[in-house]
Amino acid sequence: MKNLEIIREKLSGVRDDFNLLIKENGEKMYEGIFEKIDELEKYDWEEEINDVLEDFEGEDEDYINCVLIDMVDRVLMRVFGKKLFNNLKELGYKYDGEGWNIKDKYGKEVTCYGFVWDYWYDLDTCVREMVSDIFEDCCEG
């Protein structure tokens, strides 16, 4: 049950992060995110947790916890990425296969990685790369 608590705590923190992002960037960009978070809070994570425990058997508890948290970050983009893509298109942004015509804090157009860096919640570099790859797949698929 401890592992499930870690996942639920992560999702609660993500909900708080999106409330802040909505204040910064507007509600339309993230429309539908809370429904996806709600779905993930009700989701039966048992199989995924067991896979992580099996794959990382012998690793210390802190490492396992980090893997579980990173898993939530990836799953959230998998379930929301296409909706995010559509939200951005509805806002008038365009994706050209290389990046978006949305600007970063320096005024430059962003790639999917840059979008996750500037318009998603804070992630460690390794998981940010995975999440941005998932987002890119959603944009191209």
Q: What is the pLDDT, as a whole number, of residue 3?
A: 93
Mean pLDDT of the chain: 95
Range of the domain at 41: 2-140
Q: What is the pLDDT, as a whole number, of residue 105?
A: 85
Where residue 140 falls (left for φ over 0; alpha for ψ -120 to 50; beta otherwise) is: alpha
Q: What is the pLDDT of residues 94-134, one digit of tens each?
A: 999 999 999 988 999 999 999 999 999 998 888 999 999 99
Alpha helices in 26-124 (DSSP H): 33-42, 46-55, 61-90, 112-119
What's the rounded Cα separation, in Å, for the pair 34 and 19? 9
Query: 120 near 127, Cβ under 8 Å?
Result: no
What burial class does residue 105 get, using C-beta atoms within 10 Å of its C-beta: 0-12 exposed, 13-18 middle, 19+ buried?
A: exposed
Domain count, the chain: 1
